[in-house]
Amino acid sequence: MPAPVDASCEDPSSEVVEATLRTLAAAPSTQERDRGLASALPPSARLELVATSDGLARVDVDLIDLGDPERLPFAVGQLVLSVTSAPGVDAVEMTTSGRLVEAPLPGGALADGAVTADDYAELLSGPDETADVPSDLGCPDPDPER
């Protein structure tokens, strides 16, 4: 279930991504947990926006800090689905200490390069279902011709 962040779709994409990363790095509050919200990302996760450019957000993260390796695709999926909900952000590249890292995909494969919300769409439904990222998730695309 998506949770709101302290940002507006009219804000620059870098500001929306930074607000999203702050929200992801914070553990859900007691009220949010009571409403059924949870996070696959541990509160110890370090998430830092490096840059946004041409629809790509580069996020520095230490995958080891994201916890249990079996849950890693869920944590990365939560990160990617959240960051790509920012206006004008279509893909995410992850780095650790400035070096590009392969993103774990659902099913265990590693992505070579940037990943998109579509790469993690099955996490929104299930592996045996055809899943699409909901069109109303996040901000509307500011340039639908792209």
Which DSSP letter does residue 124 get?
A: G
Q: Please compute the mean of the pLDDT values over residues 69-87 and round it to a whole number.
A: 89
**In contact, 80 and 117? CB cutoff 8 Å:** yes
What b/e string do you get for 17-31 counting C-beta neighbours within 10 Å, with b at 16 or more?
bbbbbebbbeebeee
pLDDT for position 140: 57
pLDDT in tens, 14-30: 998 998 898 888 878 88
Question: Using CA atoms, how far apart are residues 21 and 51, in angstroms rounded to an integer?
Answer: 13
- Mean pLDDT across the stretch 81-105? 92
**112 contacts: CB under 8 Å, gap ≥ 6:** 102
Average pLDDT, the chain: 82
Nearest to 39 by CA among 1, 84, 91: 1
Check residue 85 and report its DSSP letter.
T
